[in-house]
Amino acid sequence: MAAETPVDSALDEVRRAVATAMQQFGPDYWREQDANKTFPTEFFDTIGEAGYFGTFIPEVYGGVDAGARVASVLVEEINRAGGDASSVNAQMAICRTLVLHGTEEQKQRYLPGVASGEIRFLTVAATEPDSGANMNELVSTARRDGDAWVLNASKVLISFAAHTRLMILLARAEEGTTLFLLDLEEAGDSVEMHPIDMVAHRMTSSLFIDELRVSDSARIGPVGEGLPCLMKGFVIRRVLAAAEAIGNARFLLDRSIDYAKTRKTFDELIGVNQGIQYPLVQAYMKVEAADLMRWDVLRLVDAGRDAVPRSAMAKVLASEAAWETTRAALTTFGGWGLASEYHVERKLREGTVYVFNNLLMNLIGDRALGLPKKG
Protein backbone atom coordinates (compact mmCIF):
# COMPACT_ATOMS: atom_id res chain seq x y z
CA MET A 1 0.00 0.00 0.00
CA ALA A 2 1.42 3.41 -1.00
CA ALA A 3 1.44 6.63 1.03
CA GLU A 4 -1.53 8.98 1.01
CA THR A 5 -0.51 10.86 -2.12
CA PRO A 6 -2.56 13.73 -3.50
CA VAL A 7 -5.69 12.68 -5.38
CA ASP A 8 -4.80 13.72 -8.89
CA SER A 9 -6.13 11.96 -11.94
CA ALA A 10 -3.38 13.46 -14.15
CA LEU A 11 -0.74 11.80 -11.95
CA ASP A 12 -2.65 8.51 -11.97
CA GLU A 13 -2.64 8.75 -15.74
CA VAL A 14 1.16 9.19 -15.72
CA ARG A 15 1.52 6.16 -13.40
CA ARG A 16 -0.60 4.03 -15.75
CA ALA A 17 1.20 5.23 -18.89
CA VAL A 18 4.62 4.52 -17.40
CA ALA A 19 3.55 1.09 -16.16
CA THR A 20 2.37 0.24 -19.69
CA ALA A 21 5.56 1.58 -21.31
CA MET A 22 7.74 -0.31 -18.81
CA GLN A 23 6.22 -3.65 -19.84
CA GLN A 24 8.65 -3.55 -22.78
CA PHE A 25 11.53 -2.54 -20.48
CA GLY A 26 11.33 -4.92 -17.57
CA PRO A 27 14.08 -5.71 -15.03
CA ASP A 28 15.91 -8.06 -17.41
CA TYR A 29 16.28 -5.28 -20.00
CA TRP A 30 17.96 -3.16 -17.29
CA ARG A 31 20.11 -6.02 -16.11
CA GLU A 32 21.51 -6.31 -19.62
CA GLN A 33 22.05 -2.55 -20.05
CA ASP A 34 23.86 -2.46 -16.72
CA ALA A 35 26.07 -5.44 -17.50
CA ASN A 36 27.04 -4.03 -20.91
CA LYS A 37 27.29 -0.42 -19.67
CA THR A 38 25.15 0.67 -22.62
CA PHE A 39 22.94 3.71 -22.92
CA PRO A 40 19.27 2.56 -22.88
CA THR A 41 18.49 4.14 -26.25
CA GLU A 42 15.24 2.30 -27.01
CA PHE A 43 13.78 3.09 -23.60
CA PHE A 44 14.95 6.72 -23.75
CA ASP A 45 13.38 7.21 -27.20
CA THR A 46 10.10 5.67 -26.01
CA ILE A 47 9.87 8.13 -23.12
CA GLY A 48 10.76 10.95 -25.52
CA GLU A 49 8.03 9.93 -27.97
CA ALA A 50 5.52 10.06 -25.10
CA GLY A 51 6.41 13.75 -24.67
CA TYR A 52 7.82 13.60 -21.14
CA PHE A 53 11.12 15.34 -21.86
CA GLY A 54 9.21 18.57 -22.24
CA THR A 55 7.89 18.37 -18.67
CA PHE A 56 9.74 21.54 -17.61
CA ILE A 57 9.80 23.20 -21.03
CA PRO A 58 7.21 25.87 -21.87
CA GLU A 59 4.81 25.05 -24.70
CA VAL A 60 6.18 27.87 -26.82
CA TYR A 61 9.46 25.90 -27.11
CA GLY A 62 7.77 22.58 -27.85
CA GLY A 63 7.37 21.40 -24.25
CA VAL A 64 4.33 20.46 -22.19
CA ASP A 65 5.17 22.42 -19.01
CA ALA A 66 3.61 19.69 -16.85
CA GLY A 67 5.80 20.46 -13.83
CA ALA A 68 7.57 18.80 -10.95
CA ARG A 69 4.75 16.51 -9.74
CA VAL A 70 4.54 14.76 -13.09
CA ALA A 71 8.34 14.53 -13.34
CA SER A 72 8.63 13.03 -9.87
CA VAL A 73 5.95 10.40 -10.53
CA LEU A 74 7.56 9.53 -13.84
CA VAL A 75 11.01 8.79 -12.39
CA GLU A 76 9.53 7.01 -9.37
CA GLU A 77 7.46 4.68 -11.56
CA ILE A 78 10.37 3.90 -13.89
CA ASN A 79 12.47 2.82 -10.92
CA ARG A 80 9.59 1.02 -9.27
CA ALA A 81 9.30 -1.11 -12.40
CA GLY A 82 12.96 -2.13 -12.00
CA GLY A 83 14.33 0.49 -14.39
CA ASP A 84 16.91 3.22 -14.04
CA ALA A 85 15.38 6.68 -14.54
CA SER A 86 18.67 8.59 -14.35
CA SER A 87 18.81 9.44 -18.07
CA VAL A 88 15.16 10.60 -18.06
CA ASN A 89 15.70 12.63 -14.90
CA ALA A 90 18.72 14.32 -16.49
CA GLN A 91 17.00 15.06 -19.80
CA MET A 92 13.97 16.56 -18.06
CA ALA A 93 15.69 18.57 -15.36
CA ILE A 94 19.04 19.84 -16.65
CA CYS A 95 17.43 21.95 -19.37
CA ARG A 96 15.63 23.97 -16.67
CA THR A 97 18.82 26.02 -16.31
CA LEU A 98 18.43 26.98 -19.97
CA VAL A 99 14.70 27.64 -19.54
CA LEU A 100 15.40 29.92 -16.55
CA HIS A 101 18.61 31.65 -17.63
CA GLY A 102 19.20 30.97 -21.34
CA THR A 103 18.97 33.52 -24.14
CA GLU A 104 16.03 33.53 -26.53
CA GLU A 105 18.34 32.30 -29.29
CA GLN A 106 19.59 29.35 -27.20
CA LYS A 107 16.05 28.38 -26.21
CA GLN A 108 14.68 28.51 -29.75
CA ARG A 109 17.62 26.62 -31.15
CA TYR A 110 17.74 23.77 -28.65
CA LEU A 111 14.65 23.36 -26.46
CA PRO A 112 12.28 21.88 -29.09
CA GLY A 113 14.86 19.14 -29.84
CA VAL A 114 15.39 18.52 -26.11
CA ALA A 115 11.61 18.24 -25.58
CA SER A 116 11.31 15.65 -28.35
CA GLY A 117 14.43 13.76 -27.25
CA GLU A 118 16.14 14.33 -30.59
CA ILE A 119 18.81 16.36 -28.80
CA ARG A 120 20.23 14.76 -25.66
CA PHE A 121 20.92 17.23 -22.86
CA LEU A 122 22.09 14.98 -20.05
CA THR A 123 25.06 16.59 -18.42
CA VAL A 124 26.32 19.32 -16.13
CA ALA A 125 30.11 19.34 -15.76
CA ALA A 126 30.92 20.94 -12.42
CA THR A 127 33.01 18.59 -10.23
CA GLU A 128 36.80 18.81 -10.46
CA PRO A 129 39.60 16.53 -9.28
CA ASP A 130 40.75 18.91 -6.54
CA SER A 131 37.59 20.78 -5.62
CA GLY A 132 35.01 17.97 -5.35
CA ALA A 133 32.13 19.14 -3.21
CA ASN A 134 33.42 22.73 -3.05
CA MET A 135 32.37 24.30 -6.34
CA ASN A 136 33.67 27.73 -5.34
CA GLU A 137 37.27 26.56 -5.79
CA LEU A 138 37.27 25.82 -9.53
CA VAL A 139 40.43 25.52 -11.57
CA SER A 140 38.56 25.29 -14.90
CA THR A 141 38.75 28.69 -16.53
CA ALA A 142 36.91 30.86 -19.03
CA ARG A 143 39.22 33.50 -20.52
CA ARG A 144 37.90 36.39 -22.58
CA ASP A 145 39.33 36.72 -26.06
CA GLY A 146 37.70 39.65 -27.86
CA ASP A 147 33.98 38.81 -28.17
CA ALA A 148 34.63 35.13 -27.49
CA TRP A 149 35.74 32.89 -24.62
CA VAL A 150 38.51 30.34 -24.40
CA LEU A 151 37.68 27.43 -22.10
CA ASN A 152 40.10 25.13 -20.30
CA ALA A 153 38.64 22.55 -17.97
CA SER A 154 39.39 19.41 -16.03
CA LYS A 155 36.25 17.69 -14.73
CA VAL A 156 35.64 14.32 -13.09
CA LEU A 157 32.68 12.06 -12.32
CA ILE A 158 30.61 13.51 -15.17
CA SER A 159 27.47 11.47 -15.89
CA PHE A 160 26.52 10.58 -19.47
CA ALA A 161 29.29 12.82 -20.87
CA ALA A 162 29.91 10.43 -23.75
CA HIS A 163 26.19 10.11 -24.54
CA THR A 164 25.03 13.70 -24.60
CA ARG A 165 25.07 16.37 -27.26
CA LEU A 166 24.54 19.35 -24.94
CA MET A 167 26.43 19.95 -21.72
CA ILE A 168 26.49 22.79 -19.21
CA LEU A 169 30.04 23.62 -18.16
CA LEU A 170 30.83 25.49 -14.94
CA ALA A 171 34.08 27.46 -15.24
CA ARG A 172 35.73 30.38 -13.48
CA ALA A 173 35.93 33.72 -15.30
CA GLU A 174 37.69 36.74 -13.84
CA GLU A 175 34.39 37.90 -12.32
CA GLY A 176 33.53 34.49 -10.83
CA THR A 177 31.84 31.22 -11.79
CA THR A 178 30.11 31.27 -15.18
CA LEU A 179 28.01 28.76 -17.12
CA PHE A 180 28.49 27.78 -20.77
CA LEU A 181 26.30 25.69 -23.02
CA LEU A 182 28.53 23.35 -25.02
CA ASP A 183 27.25 21.69 -28.16
CA LEU A 184 29.61 18.73 -28.32
CA GLU A 185 28.84 18.21 -32.02
CA GLU A 186 30.63 21.50 -32.60
CA ALA A 187 33.41 21.17 -30.03
CA GLY A 188 35.79 19.07 -32.15
CA ASP A 189 38.85 17.48 -30.56
CA SER A 190 39.33 20.16 -27.89
CA VAL A 191 37.18 17.93 -25.66
CA GLU A 192 38.58 14.62 -24.45
CA MET A 193 36.74 12.05 -22.33
CA HIS A 194 37.79 8.93 -20.45
CA PRO A 195 35.28 6.48 -18.96
CA ILE A 196 35.55 5.86 -15.20
CA ASP A 197 34.90 2.28 -14.10
CA MET A 198 32.03 2.60 -11.59
CA VAL A 199 29.75 0.07 -9.87
CA ALA A 200 26.73 2.27 -10.59
CA HIS A 201 25.99 5.12 -12.98
CA ARG A 202 28.22 3.22 -15.30
CA MET A 203 28.34 5.85 -18.04
CA THR A 204 30.43 8.33 -16.09
CA SER A 205 33.59 9.98 -17.41
CA SER A 206 36.45 12.35 -16.78
CA LEU A 207 36.46 15.27 -19.14
CA PHE A 208 39.25 17.57 -20.30
CA ILE A 209 38.82 20.71 -22.36
CA ASP A 210 41.86 22.28 -23.96
CA GLU A 211 41.63 25.81 -25.38
CA LEU A 212 38.07 25.48 -26.67
CA ARG A 213 36.96 28.75 -28.23
CA VAL A 214 33.23 29.52 -27.95
CA SER A 215 31.31 32.66 -28.77
CA ASP A 216 29.67 34.73 -26.04
CA SER A 217 26.32 33.39 -27.26
CA ALA A 218 27.25 30.08 -25.54
CA ARG A 219 27.19 31.71 -22.13
CA ILE A 220 24.17 30.99 -19.88
CA GLY A 221 23.21 33.70 -17.41
CA PRO A 222 25.37 36.59 -16.20
CA VAL A 223 29.17 36.37 -16.01
CA GLY A 224 30.16 35.57 -12.41
CA GLU A 225 26.72 34.16 -11.53
CA GLY A 226 27.21 30.57 -12.70
CA LEU A 227 26.88 28.83 -9.37
CA PRO A 228 23.76 30.74 -8.21
CA CYS A 229 22.11 30.06 -11.62
CA LEU A 230 22.93 26.36 -11.32
CA MET A 231 21.72 26.20 -7.73
CA LYS A 232 18.27 27.47 -8.70
CA GLY A 233 17.71 24.03 -10.20
CA PHE A 234 18.81 22.10 -7.11
CA VAL A 235 15.39 21.96 -5.36
CA ILE A 236 13.90 20.09 -8.31
CA ARG A 237 17.00 17.89 -8.73
CA ARG A 238 16.72 16.89 -5.06
CA VAL A 239 13.01 16.12 -5.21
CA LEU A 240 13.56 14.00 -8.33
CA ALA A 241 16.44 12.17 -6.63
CA ALA A 242 14.11 11.53 -3.67
CA ALA A 243 11.43 10.19 -6.03
CA GLU A 244 13.96 7.93 -7.75
CA ALA A 245 15.10 6.56 -4.39
CA ILE A 246 11.48 5.95 -3.34
CA GLY A 247 10.86 4.13 -6.64
CA ASN A 248 13.91 1.92 -6.04
CA ALA A 249 12.81 1.20 -2.49
CA ARG A 250 9.29 0.24 -3.58
CA PHE A 251 10.66 -2.06 -6.27
CA LEU A 252 12.71 -3.85 -3.60
CA LEU A 253 9.81 -3.92 -1.14
CA ASP A 254 7.42 -5.35 -3.75
CA ARG A 255 9.92 -8.08 -4.65
CA SER A 256 10.88 -8.85 -1.05
CA ILE A 257 7.26 -9.12 0.12
CA ASP A 258 6.51 -11.44 -2.76
CA TYR A 259 9.56 -13.58 -1.96
CA ALA A 260 8.72 -13.67 1.76
CA LYS A 261 5.24 -14.93 0.88
CA THR A 262 6.40 -17.69 -1.46
CA ARG A 263 9.84 -18.93 -0.40
CA LYS A 264 9.74 -21.89 1.99
CA THR A 265 12.52 -23.24 4.16
CA PHE A 266 12.05 -26.02 6.71
CA ASP A 267 8.49 -26.35 5.29
CA GLU A 268 7.58 -22.85 6.38
CA LEU A 269 7.30 -19.55 4.53
CA ILE A 270 10.30 -17.36 5.41
CA GLY A 271 7.89 -14.43 5.83
CA VAL A 272 6.51 -15.86 9.08
CA ASN A 273 9.82 -15.05 10.80
CA GLN A 274 10.07 -11.78 12.69
CA GLY A 275 13.69 -11.59 11.50
CA ILE A 276 12.29 -11.18 7.98
CA GLN A 277 9.16 -9.18 8.80
CA TYR A 278 10.57 -6.46 11.05
CA PRO A 279 13.26 -5.17 8.69
CA LEU A 280 10.62 -4.98 5.93
CA VAL A 281 8.15 -3.21 8.22
CA GLN A 282 10.82 -0.72 9.34
CA ALA A 283 11.87 -0.05 5.75
CA TYR A 284 8.26 0.31 4.60
CA MET A 285 7.50 2.88 7.32
CA LYS A 286 10.59 4.92 6.45
CA VAL A 287 9.80 4.91 2.75
CA GLU A 288 6.23 6.05 3.44
CA ALA A 289 7.47 8.86 5.71
CA ALA A 290 10.03 10.00 3.12
CA ASP A 291 7.30 9.99 0.48
CA LEU A 292 5.18 12.35 2.59
CA MET A 293 8.15 14.71 2.76
CA ARG A 294 8.53 14.46 -1.03
CA TRP A 295 4.89 15.60 -1.50
CA ASP A 296 5.36 18.35 1.05
CA VAL A 297 8.28 19.76 -0.94
CA LEU A 298 6.15 19.69 -4.07
CA ARG A 299 3.42 21.56 -2.21
CA LEU A 300 5.93 24.29 -1.33
CA VAL A 301 7.26 24.40 -4.90
CA ASP A 302 3.72 24.80 -6.29
CA ALA A 303 2.99 27.56 -3.77
CA GLY A 304 6.19 29.39 -4.79
CA ARG A 305 7.55 29.10 -1.24
CA ASP A 306 11.10 28.38 -0.04
CA ALA A 307 11.57 24.64 -0.47
CA VAL A 308 15.38 24.52 -0.07
CA PRO A 309 15.71 22.95 3.43
CA ARG A 310 12.77 20.59 2.92
CA SER A 311 14.03 19.44 -0.48
CA ALA A 312 17.33 18.51 1.20
CA MET A 313 15.41 16.66 3.93
CA ALA A 314 13.31 14.77 1.38
CA LYS A 315 16.42 13.65 -0.50
CA VAL A 316 18.28 12.56 2.64
CA LEU A 317 15.28 10.71 4.11
CA ALA A 318 14.38 8.99 0.84
CA SER A 319 17.93 7.88 0.06
CA GLU A 320 18.39 6.52 3.60
CA ALA A 321 15.02 4.75 3.50
CA ALA A 322 16.01 3.16 0.19
CA TRP A 323 19.37 2.12 1.64
CA GLU A 324 17.64 0.47 4.60
CA THR A 325 15.20 -1.23 2.23
CA THR A 326 18.13 -2.72 0.32
CA ARG A 327 19.47 -4.19 3.56
CA ALA A 328 16.01 -5.66 4.32
CA ALA A 329 15.82 -7.07 0.78
CA LEU A 330 19.22 -8.73 1.23
CA THR A 331 18.04 -10.29 4.49
CA THR A 332 14.89 -11.55 2.74
CA PHE A 333 16.62 -12.99 -0.32
CA GLY A 334 19.60 -14.38 1.57
CA GLY A 335 22.37 -15.47 -0.80
CA TRP A 336 20.13 -15.03 -3.84
CA GLY A 337 20.13 -11.30 -3.16
CA LEU A 338 23.63 -11.25 -4.61
CA ALA A 339 22.64 -13.05 -7.83
CA SER A 340 21.98 -10.60 -10.66
CA GLU A 341 18.85 -12.50 -11.79
CA TYR A 342 16.95 -11.26 -8.70
CA HIS A 343 17.85 -7.59 -9.34
CA VAL A 344 18.53 -6.85 -5.66
CA GLU A 345 22.28 -6.45 -6.12
CA ARG A 346 21.74 -4.06 -9.06
CA LYS A 347 19.42 -1.89 -6.99
CA LEU A 348 21.93 -2.09 -4.13
CA ARG A 349 24.56 -0.62 -6.46
CA GLU A 350 22.17 1.99 -7.89
CA GLY A 351 21.22 3.01 -4.36
CA THR A 352 24.81 3.95 -3.57
CA VAL A 353 24.51 6.93 -5.91
CA TYR A 354 22.08 8.72 -3.58
CA VAL A 355 23.72 8.31 -0.18
CA PHE A 356 26.31 11.10 -0.34
CA ASN A 357 24.39 13.45 1.90
CA ASN A 358 26.93 15.36 4.01
CA LEU A 359 26.56 18.66 2.22
CA LEU A 360 22.78 18.41 2.42
CA MET A 361 23.12 17.89 6.19
CA ASN A 362 25.25 21.07 6.27
CA LEU A 363 22.49 22.86 4.38
CA ILE A 364 19.78 21.63 6.76
CA GLY A 365 21.93 22.54 9.80
CA ASP A 366 22.36 26.03 8.40
CA ARG A 367 18.97 26.80 6.82
CA ALA A 368 16.59 24.85 9.07
CA LEU A 369 18.41 24.90 12.41
CA GLY A 370 20.51 28.06 12.15
CA LEU A 371 23.61 26.24 13.40
CA PRO A 372 26.96 28.05 13.00
CA LYS A 373 28.83 27.46 9.74
CA LYS A 374 32.51 26.58 9.40
CA GLY A 375 34.66 29.58 8.42
Ligand X SMILES: Cc1cc2nc3c(=O)[nH]c(=O)nc-3n(C[C@H](O)[C@H](O)[C@H](O)COP(=O)(O)OP(=O)(O)OC[C@H]3O[C@@H](n4cnc5c(N)ncnc54)[C@H](O)[C@@H]3O)c2cc1C
Q: Which positions from 118 through 137 interact with ligand X, judged by CB under 6 A? A: 123-127, 132-133
* Chain mean position to CA 321: 17
Residue number, 159 or 248, with CB nearest to ligand X: 159
Tell whether residue 86 is a contact of ligand X (CB under 6 A). Answer: no
Angle among Cα 362, 367, 373 to the nearest 5 degrees reads 50
Site track for ligand X across 316-355, x = CB under 6 A: -------------------------------------x--
Nearer to ligand X, 89 or 331 (CB): 89
CA distances 41 to 15, 25, 30, 178, 368, Å, are: 21, 11, 12, 32, 41
Nearer to ligand X by Cβ, of 9 and 358: the residue is 358
The residues with which 220 forms a beta bridge, in sequence order, are 179
Residue 358 in contact with ligand X, rule: CB under 6 A: yes
The C-alpha atoms of residue 239 and residue 373 are separated, in whole angstroms, by 25
CB of 159 to ligand X, least distance (A): 4
CA distance 176 to 136: 9
Residue among 91 and 123 whose Cβ is closer to ligand X: 123
For 47-100, the DSSP string reads HHHTTGGGTTS-GGGT-----HHHHHHHHHHHHHTT--THHHHHHHHTTHHHHH
C-alpha to C-alpha distance for 160 and 167, rounded to whole angstroms: 10
CB of 242 to ligand X, least distance (A): 16
Q: How many CB atoms lie within 10 A of CB 192?
A: 11
Of positions 362, 365, 366, 367, contacts ligand X by CB under 6 A: 362
Q: Does 359 bind ligand X (CB under 6 A)?
A: yes
Site for ligand X, residues 151 to 180, rule: CB under 6 A:
157-159
Binding flag, residue 31, ligand X (CB under 6 A): no
Contact flag: residue 139 with ligand X (CB under 6 A): no
Give dist(CA 185, CA 119) in Å, integer.
Answer: 11
How many residues bind to ligand X according to rule CB under 6 A? 17
Q: How far apart are CA 31 and CA 340, in angstroms?
A: 7
Closest to ligand X by CB, 127 or 332: 127
Q: Is 199 in the site for ligand X (CB under 6 A)?
A: no
Interface with ligand X by CB under 6 A: which residues? 123-127, 132-133, 157-159, 201, 204, 353, 356, 358-359, 362
